[in-house]
Structure 1
Amino acid sequence: MTRVVLLGSLPGPDTAPTGLRLAALAGSPTVGERLNAQLLSLDPRPAVIERSDLAAELLALAEVAESATENLFVIPADSVIHDELIYQITKAKRGALALVAKEPRPAADEVREELAPIDEAEPEIGERSLEGLMVRARVGKSRVISVGSAHHAVTRPNAILLGPLHLNARHAPVLAEACRELAGLAHLFGPDDDLLQIIVFALVRKGVSVGIRGRRDLFYRRIFTQAEATEAATEMSGMDEDRARLNNAVKGADGFFTTYFVSTYSRFIARWAARRGLTPNQVTLISIALGVAAAGCFATGERLWMVAGGILIYFAFVFDCVDGQVARYARKFGVLGAWLDATFDRFKEYVVFAGLAIGFAVSGQGDVWTLALIALGLQSVRHLLDFSFGVANRRKPPGQLPTLALSAPDDRDLRKALERRKIERSGGLRGVLKMWTKAGKFRAVHWARKMIVFPIGERFAAIAITAALFDARVTFLTLVIWGSLAAVYTFTGRLMRSLA
């Protein structure tokens, strides 16, 4: 469950801008009616911070945050947004995530005043506007660096905070404390300072890492006039939200084989299955059946059946991807499904090992059971290490960012503290890990790192290709050699991360 907080006037047909009508959308709802309907699945009774003086709004928000036991989703009441964007923001794993829009970069031929390097730039009160909001935030590649206001100067502002903010429940006490402190400083803020911007300003200065994301192929806009409402509805109706939802059903961190040889079309199978009422668990059963059939083909030891087994194990993996994509596309998640998927991934792999070993013996080529057991043991150890490291990593407290007093007139001290933190973290093991992370910007290195860990897509591909073209001995040698390299690489990396 998520606690929804609406910032602004109480939505209703007589309250501007929430009463403005979106004529181009089905049913011609008002801004408020549409947003209320979208948020019902998250919170049937959202908290409403009615528009009044800033101190009263901040104190009301502090009360909501103090009583919150769930994650908070804070959104202005004058928002027009795609359902899929709400879903993506609220399901993000970041402890805090804000939707931002960066200032467009000037064209190459546009004359620009020479700017000093960022570390030499003087803080400023941002006076530029974008989409009706003041450009008073500095964002980096992944998070908000600093936020300013009519009183608080920020170094080289380059973005606006559009509106939606998702906050993990662990940060709710920080938000409550910050809002109460801000209420006493309300006189420092100007009429053009947006409440959402002020909230993020406080969180950042309190040391909360606020991640960022853009709209990408989805729609979000704050509405202030009927002309903007009409324009927003027209633009939104021309966008393919379903395609964005389908693309989002594919995990972004998949390996090379999965990305280029499965996900290019498996998403369309997932949409077809979801629209016909197939559940993720039913798709998982199809994957299991194909895996068992592949093992049966391998167990014959005959070349034609080995090729058939290779084809079947490939499609077993395809449907293994499809079940997760159906779950994400149709938003049908369950503990049973997650358990089945994780458990039977291993089952399919190990039953195929048995089929290959049996087929090798049946064909009179010898005994590869020792190699099969080594491959099975190696994979079991790797899965155990993956699981245990994941559990330990989730228990690790997040790194503390520098803080700054809310009354400080600019962000100089904050940026200096961030620079010192960066220098401190650039030495030793942290420096090596950071350098290796940066190397990932090169495409070849990125995919090499994905493949060396021997993820499930590459394992199933290796089994399918080597079994179809060669024999079980080659398959097991490939699994053992590649798996050993992957185990050494993964263990070394995780040991370094644990010690850094």
Structure 2
Amino acid sequence: MTRVVLLGASPGPDISPTGLRLAALPGNPTVAERLHGQLAAMDPRFATIPSGDVAAALRAVADVAESASESLFIIPENSVVHDELIYQITKTKRGALALVAKEPRPQATEEEDSDQLDDTVVERIPVDEAEPEIGYNRVEGLPVRVRIGKSNRVVSVGTATHAVTRPNGVVLGPLHVSARNAPILAETCRALADMADRFGPDDDLVQLIVFGLVRNGVSVGIRGRRDLFYRRVTTQEEVNEAGAEIVGINEDRARLNHAVKGADGFFTTFFVSTYSRFIARWAARRGLTPNQVTMISIALGVAAAAAFATGDRPWMVLGGVLIYFAFVFDCVDGQVARYARKFGVLGAWLDATFDRFKEYVVFAGLAIGYVVAGNSDDIWILALAALGLQSVRHLLDFSFGASNRRKPPAKLPTISLDAPDDRELRQALVRRKVERDQGLRAVLKAWTKAGRFRAVHWARKMIVFPIGERFAAIAITAALFDARITFITLVIWGSVAAAYTLTGRLMRSLV
């Protein structure tokens, strides 16, 4: 459940921005009507806070945050936004997430005058040497007073009286704050309300909230619009432009693309997800549930095991094909859940449990088929070794994940809300970076940075021997060779993967 906070306009006539109509959309709704309908599905009794008086609005947000036991989603009422973008922002696992836009970088040419060239030279000064400033440039009507860093979070925010080092973006509007940070949000908003006279008329309310959160040590992650739409509107002309643009974007295609996990392995990414998403959409539109798709995957896995158990070459090839499609539908069930937004505890349990079941029943089928074909029954030793190794790996994965979830988030430096600029905060961040870039942390950071190279990125994905690579290895080796080669491949690759992941997790546990 998410508590929605709608930052509404002050009471006024129907010609206010939220009363303007989106003629390009079905039903000709007003901006407010459309957004209210979108938000009601999340929180039927969402809080609407007039934003004309900044101090009063901040105190009202604080009241909502103090009483909330769930995460909060804050959004201005004059927003035109895709449903899918709202969904993605509110489903984040980060402590706080803001929708942002970066200021376009100026491009100097020979025809530009010397003043513009000088500005470009200033832009090249390293950020660590730049002086804090009050941002007066604008992006989509908002003052550029946010420093967006390479660490995928907001580094610093300024106001009309608080300078920020090298501002390069804006907070567009939507802001999600997790339940664990709700008390900090409440405290921050009350403190900001007490100093409301320090802010200027062009300071945006959401940007002010992010200003306070960042200074109070909350890590505010960033997200761009990517292939979806968001815009604040204030005039009929802007509403017409927004309506035409949002209609021109295929939200369903974006939703389908986002149904695919972004962190899948090499085999899954290039040999399954390229088309499995379309199977998922077909299944969802015909009313198939994720659990039903899971049962199809299980049936294909059992059929593959039965084919392997015959020991005949044609059936071994068929088994390889069946285990491949068992994995395809294993991907499809999750994609159906994300596309149709049908999640459940039973589905998660079925998916996790029967992934193991399919794998192990195939091991048994391979070993039986090897013996039936007239080979030595010593194959069971290799089968048990592969099964035992994979079981240990799953146990380690589960235990590490459980312990990691109990680990409190790393603390970020804080700075007084009254500080006139962000020098102290940025200096503290530099010291933190130096301290964290030593010993094992330095090794882990270097290995993480190496992932920017495509070859290294995919090598790291493959070395851990994820389920896609395991099923591919079973399908290929069983179809072309025999069970002995399959189990040797599983044991060798699985041992390398276990050593790699165990080393990495030990290092992360020690830092």
TM-score normalised by structure 2 residue count: 0.97
3-state SS of paired residue (2:451) = helix
Looking at structure 1, the residues matched to 6 and 496 of structure 2 have their Cα atoms a distance apart, in angstroms, of 52
Once the two structures are superposed, what CA deviation does each residue of 1:28-73 show, in whole Å capped at 9, x if it has no partner? 1000000000011110011111123211111111111100101000
- Decide which moves more: 406-415 or 113-122: 113-122
1:182-331 alignment runs, 5 A limit: 182-331=192-341
Root mean square deviation, CA, Å: 1.1
Amino acid at match of 1:26: P
Structure 1 residue aligned with 2:121, among 114, 117, 127? 114
Looking at structure 1, the residues matched to 381 and 246 of structure 2 have their Cα atoms a distance apart, in angstroms, of 60
Structure 1 position 56 matched with structure 2 position 56: yes
Per-residue deviation at 1:144? Answer: 0.1
1:144–1:210: 8 Å Cα contact kept in structure 2?
Answer: yes
Structure 1 position 34 matched with structure 2 position 7: no
Structure 1 position 408 matched with structure 2 position 405: no
Amino acid at match of 1:440: G
Match of 1:138 in 2: 147
- Decide which moves more: 467-476 or 2-11: 2-11
Match of 1:96 in 2: 96
1:11–1:77: 8 Å Cα contact kept in structure 2?
Answer: no
Looking at structure 1, the residues matched to 270 and 102 of structure 2 have their Cα atoms a distance apart, in angstroms, of 31
Unpaired stretches in structure 2, ≥5 consecutive residues: none
Match of 1:336 in 2: 346
Structure 1 residue aligned with 2:374, among 360, 364, 372? 364
Looking at structure 1, the residues matched to 160 and 230 of structure 2 have their Cα atoms a distance apart, in angstroms, of 25
Match of 1:478 in 2: 489
3-state SS of paired residue (1:18) = helix
Amino acid at match of 1:257: F
Unpaired stretches in structure 1, ≥5 consecutive residues: none
Per-residue deviation at 1:190? Answer: 0.2
Alignment: residue pair count: 500
Structure 1 residues 12 and 299: CA distance shift in structure 2, 3 A: farther
Looking at structure 1, the residues matched to 148 and 369 of structure 2 have their Cα atoms a distance apart, in angstroms, of 58
Looking at structure 2, the residues matched to 457 and 210 of structure 1 have their Cα atoms a distance apart, in angstroms, of 33
Seq. identity, %: 77
2:10–2:52: 8 Å Cα contact kept in structure 1?
Answer: no
Match of 1:8 in 2: 8
Structure 1 position 432 matched with structure 2 position 432: no
Looking at structure 1, the residues matched to 255 and 478 of structure 2 have their Cα atoms a distance apart, in angstroms, of 37
2:71–2:176: 8 Å Cα contact kept in structure 1?
Answer: yes
Per-residue deviation at 1:189? Answer: 0.2
Structure 2 residue aligned with 1:445, among 449, 452, 456? 456
Looking at structure 2, the residues matched to 482 and 424 of structure 1 have their Cα atoms a distance apart, in angstroms, of 36
2:290–2:342: 8 Å Cα contact kept in structure 1?
Answer: yes
1:11–1:19: 8 Å Cα contact kept in structure 2?
Answer: no
Amino acid at match of 1:117: P
2:477–2:486: 8 Å Cα contact kept in structure 1?
Answer: yes
3-state SS of paired residue (2:19) = coil
Amino acid at match of 2:64: V
Runs of 4 or more, structure 1, over 3 Å off, are 10-13, 107-112
Once the two structures are superposed, what CA deviation does each residue of 1:382-415 show, in whole Å capped at 9, x if it has no partner? 0000000000000000000000000100000000
Structure 1 position 391 matched with structure 2 position 441: no
Looking at structure 2, the residues matched to 219 and 140 of structure 1 have their Cα atoms a distance apart, in angstroms, of 23
Structure 1 position 128 matched with structure 2 position 134: no
Structure 1 residues 11 and 3: CA distance shift in structure 2, 3 A: farther
Per-residue deviation at 1:95? Answer: 1.0
Per-residue deviation at 1:208? Answer: 0.1
1:12–1:18: 8 Å Cα contact kept in structure 2?
Answer: no
Per-residue deviation at 1:108? Answer: 6.5
Match of 1:47 in 2: 47
1:138–1:146: 8 Å Cα contact kept in structure 2?
Answer: yes
Per-residue deviation at 1:11? Answer: 8.8
Looking at structure 1, the residues matched to 282 and 120 of structure 2 have their Cα atoms a distance apart, in angstroms, of 54
Amino acid at match of 1:425: R
3-state SS of paired residue (1:163) = strand
3-state SS of paired residue (1:193) = coil
